[in-house]
Amino acid sequence: MEFRAHVDKLVGASNWSKWKRQVELLLRHHDVHELISGDRVCPVLAEDATPEVTVLYEKNRKSFMKDDSLAQLVLVDSMDDANVELTATCDSAKSIWEKLLSVYEQSSGQRLDRLMEQFFRSEKDGDDDVVTHIAKLQKNFSELNDELKRVAKTTLPELLLMSRIMSTLPSEFFEFKSVC
């Protein structure tokens, strides 16, 4: 059975978060995510390599190039024309990824500030049901913790999320709020 996945085209900052998650999952599915994360790099041949080592190097290099091409195809195939053009000079999946990160992700400090403000100022939208509202808070909390982990090697306790959920519930949930 052939695997098929639909990834919306990256059109800009408006769908960056969703697109990034979908593409990362697809790259993991194809076992090539480590190419964009930098955990796997193209092998380098030592100057004093023996013929046996050279043969192994060529095999590993060919495998790397094939996987990098697959990762690039996944990335480019899921971008609109403007983003394909933006990354046209990139020669590897990692360089494409880094270019997109530099365009769509703010510096760590700015991103952390924005995520904190978004989490602590969020209120339930009138159109959202409670489940949707809680899911949005959980997503914000998860993104905030991911950035905190990356920048400050720390995370916020789950109790803070629970408290934030309770404090943003509408008045009709007052009895539920008082029990918790």
Task: Supply the pTM of this predicted model.
Answer: 0.64
95 in the same domain as 23: yes
77 in the same domain as 153: no
146 in the same domain as 77: no
Distance of alpha carbon 3 from alpha carbon 80, whole angstroms: 23
Burial class (CB in 10 A: 0-12, 13-18, 19+), 20: middle
- At 21-39, the pLDDT tens digits run 999 999 999 999 999 999 9
Strand boundaries in the chain, DSSP class E: none
72 in the same domain as 21: yes
Instruction: Kindly state whether residue 69 falls inside one of the protein's structural domains.
Output: yes
Number of domains into which the chain is organized: 2
**83 is in which domain, residue-wise?**
15-106
Instruction: Give 179's pLDDT tier (boundaries 50, 70, 90).
Output: low
- At 55-103, the pLDDT tens digits run 999 999 999 999 999 999 999 999 999 999 999 999 999 999 999 998 8
Distance of alpha carbon 23 from alpha carbon 71, whole angstroms: 10
Distance of alpha carbon 100 from alpha carbon 11, whole angstroms: 11
